[in-house]
Chain A
């Protein structure tokens, strides 16, 4: 390869053919591993070599072009190197253009960020190619903003496209942004709507980060879109893509200067602090007063021992609490009542039982009157306390309200959370009051227990599979607790069946099977947890059967969060219902479910779903083995 004397006319096409053939046979790494660094060096300053390189690539026949181009893009250390090596190939050759602007970006998603940087940087470096850059951005935004893409494509692909969009944005210059400002704005609005609609927090985050970035690019002087979300590695990485760092080559060529300018423009203007010149002067020392004649001495102070902090007393009786909460009186008293309610309820079970449904109703509709810290948690704990003190009537009330008109989504999800927390408490009596399971600190956060249900489930399922009595600190270990009756036993059915009853009946404001798929997802996860907690109760078999039928009806739902919930339901059934009963009562459902699980493992686009399905299949296998091992 390292031939060539200057000045000779030689035909490059033979070399191109060789290169193409080798690449298409999968040997890109070897040949390009040698070729690319060599060419990089040679083309650094030598124009002739550049032209030779361009000829080389241009002459590769179309059927091998993809492999070659892909190889180059992957191997080139930086975008400017790629530009030197390929020249304007993307403009001249149709196949190369297709590969670079469509295939790599939209149809594949396994490439690294570096590849994206190379590719998009390459497109931005030459004026001829910049039109392609704009077109690419438009197509990327179209895909990003299409609701069907958000719903059906895997999260990894969406992450890839988001990265590509951000890199494109970082390369755009001011006049170009000007020209397509309106389109950017419209696509951003549509896209952000689809993303926020999704049930997966990762996708929502992606949507928010990209929308913020687009907004900051098109609105440098005005107010910028700002979302609230948790910063994690992924979001930080995405945001770092918006700012192009100039590559550390010794000779700063023109394209690099452009990039660093863009970096400056992209950073938001820091608001000036108002009080920069007016800081308080240091406190003057008190020494003077000692020297002065203290004529204050003849003023004798009175007794001030009664002067204490003003405390508003909370009511001591539950009926008083009800009065305060429903009245429109003293806000201080209201605040004190809200804070004291949970402990009062727990200390007076008999009194609570008299007014339990009324209290539950008040709490469900209670809204924040003043700014109480932790209001949502206080309310939830009070609701859980009321539910545990008097499970059956309050449970009936809450489950019926779940399917009533005129409640907000937040209230319906609150009902589900409260039912789960109370169920947990009832089934593990010593663990009430632990705050680690109250996941409702902020309104938009995940499900209990402990946040990410799929991780917990995997852990629990693995534990059960290996049949070790390892203790884990979610408090689910029934084994070593001091014995007390499982109060959940008598009420499990009361929590479970009403929730499952009306899911297919749409109301005017609430359609589980329609738009409110977020609530459906939460409902399904709730049912899974209730099922899991119902282990060893009398109703467990009936519950299991009903749950399997429910899962069967919903198994093709398009929302991946719902599907994950359905798979958790199956895990719960397999874990909670005793093996003999499963076999006796639910054989057909099991077989049907098994074939569906096989399907999910192969074809479901969501990675978590596939994992859960695999675990379920594993559980079923173990179940079979266990049953076969027992001599019948």
Chain B
């Protein structure tokens, strides 16, 4: 007898607009409050206090244009946000400040979220879609110097990059980028040399989101169709399709794998959040709370494993926070 799916632990209301991106920052020990950052369509970034479940601060830095990516850079005092005003802003939030310290003008008019990777103490690499249609630019932060530009070969017709993930196998190895494109293919790029290592056609429709487990060298991608595609990376750095999973309703906006690599969550256009086991992609739960498309899902980074949370932001302007499979 399977239990009915759990209800959300709590629901955050008050963004006033569709929620497009979420990011937890709960790693710091007490007495620091665990915090959730959310970016909305009205251009505001809300900093939610997870103890009081209220907004602590609202950041307005993108000229009321939709914010579709928020990430912390080394702690919850430094925030990076990306908006539809074609800018990436770097915020300084320490000691109650709310100022934009720096910004990068990307000239990108799409929706591709940038990806961050810490390569050395205080040095970050950021992959973002650039002005030119098919290109991805890698910048080094905080210096904002361009490391390289990844251009697909002429005639490849990949379309826009839709989602990016920078990763490296371990500290010191070469950083690599996985990029999902509009034509449904995922390309593995070597950042240092600036060339493509492998390309795999995973979907017939644009790749909406992807996530990668560097330990197992396996990744998953979702698209606007009904299929989730799981692919793996072999020793020759070649991508291969491992498995596909058919969903009940088409359309995935976001996929994320929990940091302990045990489960993953998908945000669906059918208003539902689905949880799968990562090992074999066993369907575990379908969380049906929202009344409109779920735009993003995010797992928290709590040190205390029992407190781990999953948050989902939706077009219905609510953020649902769940505690699910936290005991394992």
Contact = CB atoms under 8 A, between A and B. Distances in A.
B155 A301 contact: no
A279 interface: yes
Interface string A271-290: 01011001111111010010
B201 A306 contact: no
A292 B279 CA distance: 10
A309 interface: yes
A370 to B, nearest CB: 15
Interface of B: 2-6, 155-157, 183, 185, 199-202, 232, 238, 240-244, 248-249, 262-263, 270-272, 277-280, 282-286, 288, 325, 328
Contacts of B277: 296, 299
A254 to B, nearest CB: 39
A299 B2 contact: no
Given A302-B284, A307-B248, A278 B201 contact: yes
A299 B325 contact: yes
A307 B284 contact: no
A310 interface: yes
19 contacts: A275-B201, A278-B199, A280-B202, A284-B240, A289-B279, A289-B280, A292-B279, A294-B280, A295-B262, A296-B279, A299-B277, A299-B282, A301-B2, A302-B4, A302-B6, A304-B2, A304-B285, A307-B248, A308-B248
Contacts of A286: 243
A580 interface: no
Nearest to B279: A296
Contacts of B185: 278
A237 interface: no
A302 B270 contact: no
Contacts of A280: 200-202, 241
Contacts of B183: 274
Contact of B241 (A272, A278, A284, A301): A284
A301 B248 contact: no
B242 A284 contact: yes
Interface residues of A, number: 28
A537 B25 CA distance: 82
B176 to A, nearest CB: 18
Chain B CB within 10 A, most for which of A272, A274, A278: A278
A283 B241 contact: yes
A275 B5 CA distance: 43
A310 B242 contact: no
Interface of A: 272, 274-275, 278-284, 286, 289, 292, 294-296, 298-304, 306-310
B242 A299 contact: no
Contact of B285 (A283, A294, A295, A301): A301
B201 A302 contact: no
B101 to A, nearest CB: 42
A284 B232 contact: yes
Chain B CB within 10 A, most for which of A284, A294, A299, A308: A299
A295 B262 CA distance: 9
Contacts of B263: 299
A282 B201 CA distance: 11
Contact of B284 (A283, A289, A301): A301
Contact of B5 (A289, A292, A302): A302
Nearest to B200: A280
Nearest to B185: A278
A300 B263 CA distance: 12
Contacts of B240: 281, 284
A272 B154 CA distance: 13
A292 B288 CA distance: 32
B2 A303 contact: yes
Given A298-B328, A303-B5, A307-B248, A283 B242 contact: yes
Given A278-B185, A310-B271, A304 B242 contact: no
Given A302-B2, A302-B3, A296 B280 contact: yes
Contacts of B2: 300-304
A281 B200 contact: yes
A304 B157 CA distance: 40
Contacts of B5: 302-304
A475 to B, nearest CB: 40
A295 B325 CA distance: 13
Contacts of A274: 155-157, 183
